[in-house]
A and B are shown apart, each in its own frame.
Chain A
Amino acid sequence: MKSLRVMGAACLAVAVVALAGCGESVTPTVYEPGVYKGDRDPLLAKHATPEAKEALQERFAMSQTDR
């Protein structure tokens, strides 16, 4: 009778250990989408000025309009 109890406890312990191996963390590694993580481009500030935009529009009119 006692040996049956010991065997039952042993089986239970083995089952618990085996099932524990099936568990895994359900929290995946998530990156924040669309948030740029690099250095700031100095062009962004320079290009925000109206003069810079006007220069590009003049350039377009000069070099790309139909002949």
Chain B
Amino acid sequence: MARMKFLCDSERCIECNGCVTACKNEHDVPWGVNRRRVVTLEDGVPGEKSISVACMHCTDAPCSAVCPVDCFYTTDDGIVLHDKDLCIGCGYCFYACPFGAPQYPQKEAFGVRGKMDKCTFCAGGPPADNSEQEIEKYGRNRIAEGKLPLCAEMCSTKALLAGDGDMVADIYRERIMKRGTRPQSWGWEKAYQEDV
């Protein structure tokens, strides 16, 4: 059984923010919400490292565990999705997520939150695939079209990989062998635990 995973190779990421732009453009993500962002560690210092971060679609997703209305579900291949019709915007998932993935549009005055929004691995949500309703609420459903997340597909340095975890691991293993360095698969242990 294929297990979908993201991996960001910090040795290759050049902080171009192309993945962030591609995601926002593909899904028409509103202002103030970033499903993906690039984080730079030790910015400005020689040897700085950048990583592209979004929902990692965890094996045992903490967001799903804490949701009081059980609006999360996981597909057979491990993509964690949610139903915005059930979400009450409580923010519990934001506090539980180790990657800061859940985002909330500020819809009203006094900081009232809207429905939670996060990376869907380009797999949409419960409405019919690529229906107007799905595109409006969750963005495009590329997985239903046989495509993979756009952020990874258009990454110019192939730093960001998304797909079957075994295939992703094979590519990364080859890179590590060539470089002769230690693997730094950022976030993998936290997200996939024994499934790494």
Q: A residues within 8 Å of B by Cβ?
A: 31-44, 46-48, 52-53, 55-57, 59-61, 63-67
- 18 inter-chain pairs at a CB distance below 8 angstroms, sorted by A residue, are A37-B71, A38-B73, A38-B85, A39-B83, A41-B73, A43-B144, A46-B129, A46-B144, A47-B76, A47-B143, A52-B146, A56-B143, A56-B146, A57-B2, A59-B148, A59-B163, A60-B148, A64-B171
Residues of B within 8 A of A40 (CB): 126
Q: Does B161 contact A (CB under 8 A)?
A: yes
Neighbour of A57 across the interface among B124, B127, B167, CB < 8 A: B167
Contact of B69 among A37, A42, A43, A52 (CB under 8 A): A37
Considering the chains assembled together, what is the distance between the CA atoms of A52 and B70 in angstroms?
Answer: 28
- Which residue of B68, B123, B167 contacts A43 across the interface (Cβ within 8 Å)? B123
Cβ-based interface call for B125 (8 A): yes
* Known interface pairs A32-B70, A43-B129, A66-B174; A38-B86 also in contact (CB < 8 Å): yes
Asked if B81 is at the interface (CB within 8 A of a chain A CB), the reply is yes
Q: Is B158 an interface residue (CB 8 A)?
A: yes
In the bound assembly, the distance between CA atoms of A40 and B128 in angstroms comes to: 10
Q: How far is the CA of A41 from the CA of B167 in the complex (A)?
A: 26
* Cα of A64 to Cα of B147 in the assembled complex, Å: 11
**Does B181 lie at the interface of the complex (its beta carbon under 8 Å from any beta carbon of A)?**
no
A-B contact count (CB 8 A): 94
| Docked complex Cα distance between A44 and B141 (Å) | 12
* Complex Cα spacing A52 to B129, Å: 14
The residue that B70 contacts in the complex, of A36, A41, A43, A44, with Cβ under 8 A, is A36
Chain A residues near B70 (CB-CB < 8 A) = 31-37
Whole-angstrom distance between the Cβ of A12 and the nearest chain B Cβ: 43
A31 to chain B, nearest CB (A): 6
Among candidates A33, A35, A64, A66, residue contacting B153 with C-beta atoms closer than 8 Å? A64
Instruction: Using CB atoms, name the residue of chain B closest to A60.
Output: B163
B50 lies within 8 A of chain A by Cβ: no
